[in-house]
Structure 1
């Protein structure tokens, strides 16, 4: 009888977990990105973008979240570098406070603690826009506080896919 109840509990657990989509138990909260080598005081623990792949000429919705131990100062920047076949394909530098913090109703300086920001970024087609292909860029996302020298707060690296219709 005891074996019957153990089997019943086991089957119930299997049925319960199968009733949820696999994305419910997604383990990759960084969407394929990883922390860069080194230590950074403001750790990004969640990162995602939609659509995935990004579509050239359309807006991209990006979400990041994590824990910070260092204040994000006015004038902080986000630098995005993309490499294709080992060569620099693009660099975008943006005011982190204006593009990320303020659009979420906050202001810099941002005190240490939990953060979550969502923003929309345009994917501007390059002049020599390829057609009917998707390109996977090796990308690095770095957030810096201003100063001399700048203080690197966060860093992620990974693939960033862009579809060119």
Structure 2
């Protein structure tokens, strides 16, 4: 289990556009594993590679639904429907949440850890998470989209 350090805003790496993965190999498999370990350790529901300082188009998510752990390489949102308005937070922006408008239903296409193309459809929290993590790959933070921001309660020793 390798826990990586989560990059915090305003680190400039969070504002850069991640590069597509051109070769899936052992280092990408290790990256996926480390990202999942880091996300679970931080009690998050999603993590993008730029959040651990790696500018590759790789995300992991687990919103606690029937999908379980989702690993996506080079994800691309291919459809968006409806609208939802709700609170978001981010492991890279501890101590804050914000109200963000997102699509209610999305479909995302990408590659799994074996290089097979997969399509994941999600609604509600999964749809929100997909959009949030893909935004990270494009250097966009939820604070750019939030209609209102809130200071949240301390989550751990680093925020106390």
Structures share a fold, TM > 0.5? no
Q: Which has the larger radius of gyration?
A: 1
When normalised by structure 2's length, the TM-score is 0.29
When normalised by structure 1's length, the TM-score is 0.29
